[in-house]
Structure 1
Amino acid sequence: MVHQSLRKPGFSRSAAMGVRGLQGFVASTCPHVCTVVNLRELAERHRSKHPGCTPTIVVDAMCCLRYWYTPESWVCGGQWREYFSALRDFVKTFETFGIKLIFFFDGMVEQGKRDVWVKRRLKNNREIARIFHYIKSHREQPSRNMFFIPSGLAIFTRFALKTLGQETLCSLQEADYEVASYGLQNDCLGILGEDTDYLIYDTCPYFSISELCLDSLDTIMLCRQKLCESLDLGPADLPLLACLLGNDIVPEGVFESFRYKCLSSYTSVKENFDKKGNTVLAVAHHIAKVLRLHQGEKKLEEMLPLGPNKALFYKGVASYLLPGQTSPWIFQKPKGLTTLHKQVVPMSSDPESKQEIPVCTDPESNQESPMCSDPAPNQEIPVRTDPEIKQEDSMNMEPEVKQQVTMVSDTEILKVARTRHVQGESYLVYNILTSGEIECSNTLEDALDQALPSQAFVYRPVRQRAYSLLLGSGQGDASGCPTVREWFVYAGNPLRHPDLVRPLPMNLPGGTPSLKLLWLNQEPGTQALRVDTLLACFDLSSSREELQAVESPFQALCCVLTYLFVQVDTLCLEDLHAFIAQALCLQGKSAAQLEALQLDCVDPRAVQLGALLVRGLTMLVLVNSACGCPWRAGDLMPWNVFDGKLFQEKYLQSEKGCAAEVLVEQNRPRLTRFHSLKSVVCKACLKEDRHIISRQHWRPHHSGRLERQGSGSHRTSSGYSRSGQGQHWRDQGPGSRQHEPERWTRHSPSARWSS
């Protein structure tokens, strides 16, 4: 059960999110903006006011992840069964009182916010280094003030909520806009999240998730109207205030000197000067007393030092305008335009053309549109409308649109992919098909441990084959596929540019099947083809029969383990024993039993191995989505095959040389399955010339790494992973150049593909 005011410092999306300084200002200077409310009572009032209408709260799920993650253990890779239980309690509480929840998840990182995303990832890297330093020094989990959400928490939360019967939606842009829009258009009870942008949007009430007491459903409502009264502003002024203070679109430094001038003028008539609080008051005072004097007479850029940031500033203000809303501070061209978020129509009628453009005058666009750079007087800027606008509406749009080349031209496939994306039924597929760009946040990886690779490298060949499936012509030739831009976090990557990653061909009889065949064909034999394609993405086609014979959910586990052990030659038999034993023992344990499990110590290598496996499960979700879902989504979920603490326990036992009987807790049927699963993985690895041996047969290498004895099984000297496909993880890193067609290079102005 989640308790009141569960404050967990960490890396949730709400950290440093929204308007700079506004959260602290409200807490210290305007505490009356925060009001204690009871969601049950508000729901009852809503029913009285709207008979027959179910009170609905729209939830910004990304803001809620660390509130939901209540298990005590977090560093070992995730207490997934405990987490699922906590989510179930959360959902059940609202259901009990007749309150409907709609969950929104971020579907992509908008280009205008990439810099903010990168800064957070680099900050997280420093925090992760501190976590591993602590584990190595103390052999235990750090305290909660170093909390880091387990890898894959967002994607698996989405599927967990769907399993619990909840409506989950994945955004087509930054989620906060769609959350605010949904709340306004559907007359929702409020928004549950932790982002000061919800004070700026003119939408339904904003409730704090961090202050929610689940037992009573008491929480804090941050009142937009009271904030306006305190600042002598109207709701339409708040977007202007947000951009002048700095937010995720307009960097804080852009108006630093302007804020200083406002503060100097404001403090000349105010006593008890408090810089942080008074900065907000000073800027609001300037808007109310200075800018309004000339409102309607002068363009905003004549009253503000916008300079080269004019288009960015207008984009920032417009980004807060919900469907049907306008701003008195910005203007549009004489002919009114309706904004549509990335509705895709062909750029030409040429059937061979793969160039398409989203019909979009979206203020999130990176390109400076004429309406933003030179607003005409007395005309309001176009406002973004609901992302679900019908395709036919886009035909009446004017040609002033954001031009963006999409990766595929098949509108039927794009429509299916978009629907699955919005409904939260796929992972990364729509992003690859439309923008050719994906990202992956931080993982608990030890940057100082050279013996274990980053998950970014381990699973890159899987992604490369998925790219050839998604972006190819269905003929099995990956050479003509476009490259994909990857923003993946790994040690030494400054994230200044994305990695340009080329697709890899798949080894499938008859060639790579088309997406139409995999996604839309209902012929009896298609299901088998989907499975074949999934295994081909992991390059495990030779082990199809063995893997298919494994029962669920261990089939998915064996697939990831086989791939992992073939790719990473520093994994040993003891590691395999620990992975299999914990998965088998997990089946007979409740969330309460897992919570009661106590560890003697925490091993840093096991921490990284746990994260590596969980990231493998997320890659399996991606491939399963791309192949038309041959495997049930539930079989890919970590709460069915992995528990962080349990893995640590089995890892430590295995390292000590405990027998299999001990690992499976003296359970005879479990022991039989242990040997069966071990045999499947070992035999599959042998087909790829990978012999999994005990750590006792390794010898220390002068480089500090561990390598197996015998030149026949040494896999790191060639510079390639198996089959010569892709580049070995030890040879990959920032700045690496491509020398073979299937290798990759970092994206930079000087980078060139070799022929």
Structure 2
Amino acid sequence: MGVGDLQTFLESPSLEGGAVSVDLLKIARNVTQRQQPHNTNRKIRPIGNKLKLIIDAENCLDRLYGGYFSDWACGGQWNRMVQFLSLLTRAIERGNIELAVVFNGTIEQCRMNEWVAEQANIRQRVGMVLKHINTKATPPPKIWWAPPTCLRSALRMALRHLGVTVMCTMDDHHQEVIAYCREYGFHGLLADDAEYAAFDPPRYFSAENLKLTYKGSVETKEYMISELTKTLKVTQEQVCIMAALLGNFLLPESDLQDLYKKLGLTKGENSAESNIKKLAEYVGTLPSPSNMDALVVAVFGIPEDKRASKFRQSVQYYLNGTASGFLKYCTPPTKSKKDKNKAQPQAPVSNEKDAANNVNVKTDDHDLDTSGFASETTEQEQETLQNYKQATAHSVVTSFDGLDVNLLKNINSGKFISINEPYSAVYKLSFIDDSPLSSDSSRFNGISNGSVGSVKSIPGSSGQRVNLLVGNSSSNTSENSKNSPNSGSGSQKAQKQSVSNNAVTPSVSPDVLRTASLRHQKGLMAPTILHVLSTQEVRLPCLMEDEGNREFPPIHDIYGPLRKRVYAVLFNLHHLRYVHAKKKESGELPENVPQPDILVKEWIYSRSNPYQYAEEVKAEPLPWAVPTLQRLWFGPSVDDKRRRMRALLSCLNSDTPLILNTAYVPQHMLIMACVLRYIMSQDRPIMRRHELDAFLCHAFNPNLMNPQYLQELTLNVVTSRGVQLAALFMEGVEMALLANDACGAPLPWLMCCPWLYFDGKLFHYTLTRSAHAKNILEVCENYIERVVKVERMRKAILEGLDVKFAKVPLPPFAGEKSRESFKFN
């Protein structure tokens, strides 16, 4: 049971005409302005004859990744992903289609149980994947696919680079997606979610079935909601009632067992069809939602039933997403008055007065231009673009022209095609915006930030947004906490395990929160930044690691110190303690008052705490006088620029002279170098010598950006340790991107793209070679110039460290069947 049964029924063969195969390019050819009736409620009416579609990325991460690559578990094949996206965007542009891709950037407490269940499912699949690799040493089957670490960040950057509109939701993902779809005149929505079926979008297409074919068509299935209502003999309002009674995040199915028993609904894999029909027959006898009191009595017998309030909210939630109700959209119910008061200090409060006292600030912080990051200037972006072109000068991307048919292997199931065409043919960027950098559009619309010149400013950049108000981000993310695992005994545990008795609730400048909200909304910033600033809470997902046989600590634990430093930067911890010390010197505070701490709640999985409660961690300041966040983000001086970069390097244990010397570390490999240095700086050795060499050698391999070569490359063996090392590295990249955003983006985003320095398949191939090679020259295929680059970058990474490599295990006894031991002999 559950609202998902509605989508299952819609997709089932028993609903004749419920899912129809379509070609989006053919639909686009038939779209005209006349087909879009005037709607006075829309802020923007459709212009021209383009087919405008919005994609919920959370429903098709695997499709956007490029479908199923056999080596997806190896850490991510990012150049093949970019290759697929470039082909897809080219096809839709030629077909007169405009896309907007929306990622879930919310931290909806009311859906915490759903997130925990999703992580449990991922953990189960990860366990099966690693077991398969340990026993067979081959890539896992498609059915166990899980998103590679850092996939969402890589997708946002790739889509932004290719000129596709990218957005992140802020408060309620489903409601914001459907509201954006309706308000800005989109013709349809691509997703696979029963809640959208209840909303009845203009046209509802399947994201899961999205296919780019060899002939250049873009095919999928269209879900016909009209056939659903016709077959079940219900109205769209009654579909909303059905969605509420099936059970959801507001009214769980566990609260409706008596109703299910009364209606004869059963729980089972093949019971969805019969359950939906029985429920539709029952709902057909109920009063209209316009008479909610009568509806509650008809369902529960009495108006005072304890479930009545949840039921009302649930029905109204789905009604708000319909065409007639989306303008009435209101956020889910807030917490109790007690909880509201408790959460109040987290609301944005100006700290400009404190910031002005910062010893590092020569001018008042409130005099800064706060319309966007000071690091993003036209000159800097043009220089970055040239550096990007140089870094990708030898890269290869595909085209449908001159395609070798022998290389095409079932693209409909996600396999890749490969032919030669320089990146410049697809990645041709131009700067067409010469407007002053103080404007919102030039700062945030993705044009002056290095994106394709054809990118249009996302509607709402002038302040008009679809329920993405700054003030809501702090209050709405904590509602309905009683439905989340941190309620009840869990919250008591969290209180007992408080790590500080002198924690303070940090204030956040309105300028900072406004900028963070704008960048978050447009996919220009790690979503975690806004989560931390507005709620002091983060969620850490399950990763590709073996919990039963650890050769190194849990990956999230390894990057714990890095996150603590990022929290300190975001909340100006150094400045808080500086002011505190000054007050003690002046006698305003007693000498025995401890210095203030800042706590952030982390939802992190462990066997002792499987997402039952959030663990409080203390922010740790950097070992130097860090400027305030306003100065880091908005400071225009050369010193501000230098401090931004130093703050980033300090978070990554990489504040050393050689790391910024491009003769040792090319700019597009700085993220990689910092992540590897961070791993090497741990107290407990993690990597072996040949593993570090494998990372570096594969990054300098000219075939790194050749998808055709990577497609034809064959891995003789896939190892569990190699898979986990790749996950460790890519989580480090994710954390480095977070730190870069927190410090004001000192490193341009184009220089952070993972396809510039990592490919999981090539890494595993190089790892196998390095484990058995006599020397590094052999790993570099006897190219001495590559060896020189590797040696210089390794020197920069290890500069000043007391280097300790993990020990290589002893060779197995003769006859012992141990692929893993043999691999790392």
The TM-score bracket by the shorter chain reads: 0.7 to 0.9
Query: What's the CA shift for 1:177?
Result: 2.0
State the distance in 2 between where 1:407 and 1:42 align.
Answer: 52
Contact 1:263 1:278 in 2 (8 A): no
State the distance in 2 between where 1:573 and 1:393 align.
Answer: 50
Following superposition of structure 1 onto structure 2, how do residues 146-157 of structure 1 map, counting pairs within 5 Å? Answer: 146-157=144-155
State the distance in 1 between where 2:797 and 2:469 align.
Answer: 48
Aligned to 2:100: 102
Aligned to 1:285: 281
| CA spacing shift, 1:697–1:690, aligned 2, 3 Å | farther
State the distance in 1 between where 2:762 and 2:106 align.
Answer: 33
Query: What's the CA shift for 1:341?
Result: 9.1
Contact 1:518 1:530 in 2 (8 A): yes
Which of the numbers 538, 541, 544 marks the counterpart of 1:444?
544
Contact 1:602 1:648 in 2 (8 A): yes
Q: Could you report, residue by residue, the CA deviation over 1:247-288 in whole angstroms, capped at 9, with x for unpaired residues?
A: 344323222331232237x9xxxxxxx843121111111111
Q: Could you report, residue by residue, the CA deviation over 1:228-262 in whole angstroms, capped at 9, with x for unpaired residues?
A: 11222211222211011123443232223312322
SS at match of 1:308: coil
Q: Could you report, residue by residue, the CA deviation over 1:362-392 in whole angstroms, capped at 9, with x for unpaired residues?
A: xxxxxxxxxxxxxxxxxxxxxxx99545979
Aligned to 1:203: 201
Task: Name the aligned partner's letter for residue 626 of structure 2.
Answer: T
Task: Name the aligned partner's letter for residue 299 of structure 2.
Answer: L
Following superposition of structure 1 onto structure 2, how do residues 188-587 of structure 1 map, counting pairs within 5 Å? Answer: 188-215=186-213, 216-263=217-264, 275-292=271-288, 296=291, 298-305=293-300, 307-322=305-320, 339=330, 354-356=345-347, 388=466, 408-427=507-526, 428-472=528-572, 475=575, 477=577, 480-490=596-606, 493-508=609-624, 511-541=625-655, 543-549=656-662, 550-567=665-682, 568-585=684-701
State the distance in 1 between where 2:210 and 2:330 align.
Answer: 36
Contact 2:686 2:805 in 1 (8 A): no
State the distance in 2 between where 1:629 and 1:205 align.
Answer: 39
Contact 2:659 2:670 in 1 (8 A): no
Query: What's the CA shift for 1:547?
Result: 3.7
Aligned to 1:12: none
State the distance in 2 between where 1:308 and 1:544 align.
Answer: 65
| CA spacing shift, 1:483–1:602, aligned 2, 3 Å | same
Query: What's the CA shift for 1:130?
Result: 1.4
State the distance in 2 between where 1:645 and 1:173 align.
Answer: 37
State the distance in 1 between where 2:644 and 2:470 align.
Answer: 33
State the distance in 1 between where 2:806 and 2:794 align.
Answer: 12
Query: What's the CA shift for 1:695?
Result: 3.7
Query: What's the CA shift for 1:453?
Result: 1.8
Equivalent residue pairs, number: 625
Aligned to 1:740: none
Q: Could you report, residue by residue, the CA deviation over 1:327-368 in whole angstroms, capped at 9, with x for unpaired residues?
A: 79xxxxxxx99846999xxx9xxxxx945289xxxxxxxxxx
Query: What's the CA shift for 1:297?
Result: 8.1
Contact 1:468 1:481 in 2 (8 A): no
State the distance in 2 between where 1:392 and 1:434 align.
Answer: 9
Query: What's the CA shift for 1:544?
Result: 4.0
| CA spacing shift, 1:490–1:652, aligned 2, 3 Å | farther
Aligned to 1:704: none
Aligned to 1:42: 27
* Structure 1 stretch displaced more, 530-539 or 19-28: 19-28
SS at match of 2:603: strand
Task: Name the aligned partner's letter for residue 291 of structure 2.
Answer: G
Instruction: Give yes or no for the alignment of 1:60 onto 2:60.
Output: no
Give unpaired runs (5+ residues) of structure 1: 1-15, 267-273, 329-335, 348-352, 359-384, 395-400, 700-755
State the distance in 1 between where 2:275 and 2:647 align.
Answer: 58
SS at match of 2:633: helix
Aligned to 2:80: 82
* Structure 1 stretch displaced more, 141-150 or 490-499: 490-499
SS at match of 2:799: helix
Which of the numbers 109, 112, 116 marks the counterpart of 1:118?
116
Aligned to 1:171: 169
Instruction: Give yes or no for the alignment of 1:161 onto 2:135.
Output: no
| CA spacing shift, 1:683–1:150, aligned 2, 3 Å | same
Contact 1:19 1:248 in 2 (8 A): no
| CA spacing shift, 1:64–1:17, aligned 2, 3 Å | farther
Q: Could you report, residue by residue, the CA deviation over 1:138-172 in whole angstroms, capped at 9, with x for unpaired residues?
A: 11112212222211111211111001111100110
Q: What percentage of aligned pairs have identical amino acids?
A: 23
| CA spacing shift, 1:504–1:591, aligned 2, 3 Å | same
| CA spacing shift, 1:519–1:342, aligned 2, 3 Å | farther
| TM-score (norm. length: structure 1) | 0.76
| CA spacing shift, 1:297–1:615, aligned 2, 3 Å | closer
Query: What's the CA shift for 1:411?
Result: 0.9
Q: Could you report, residue by residue, the CA deviation over 1:548-590 in whole angstroms, capped at 9, with x for unpaired residues?
A: 4422222211110000111241322111111111111156541
* Structure 1 stretch displaced more, 254-263 or 672-681: 254-263
State the distance in 2 between where 1:83 and 1:650 align.
Answer: 20
Task: Name the aligned partner's letter for residue 625 of structure 1.
Answer: D
Aligned to 1:720: none
State the distance in 1 between where 2:95 and 2:259 align.
Answer: 49
Query: What's the CA shift for 1:186?
Result: 1.9
Contact 1:18 1:197 in 2 (8 A): yes
Q: Comparing both chains, which one has the higher relative contact order based on Cα–Cα distances under 8 Å and sequence gaps of 6 or more?
A: 2
Instruction: Give yes or no for the alignment of 1:660 onto 2:655.
Output: no
Task: Name the aligned partner's letter for residue 319 of structure 1.
Answer: Y
State the distance in 2 between where 1:389 and 1:123 align.
Answer: 31
| CA spacing shift, 1:588–1:60, aligned 2, 3 Å | closer
SS at match of 1:526: helix
Q: Could you report, residue by residue, the CA deviation over 1:33-77 in whole angstroms, capped at 9, with x for unpaired residues?
A: 222333223222322525725321001111111123333311111
Q: Could you report, residue by residue, the CA deviation over 1:452-491 in whole angstroms, capped at 9, with x for unpaired residues?
A: 1222101110000000111235516395343111123456
Contact 2:685 2:806 in 1 (8 A): no
Give unpaired runs (5+ residues) of structure 2: 37-46, 339-343, 350-462, 473-477, 482-503, 579-594, 813-825
Contact 2:180 2:466 in 1 (8 A): no
Task: Name the aligned partner's letter for residue 57 of structure 2.
Answer: A
Aligned to 1:732: none
State the distance in 1 between where 2:240 and 2:186 align.
Answer: 22
Contact 2:9 2:15 in 1 (8 A): no
SS at match of 1:320: helix
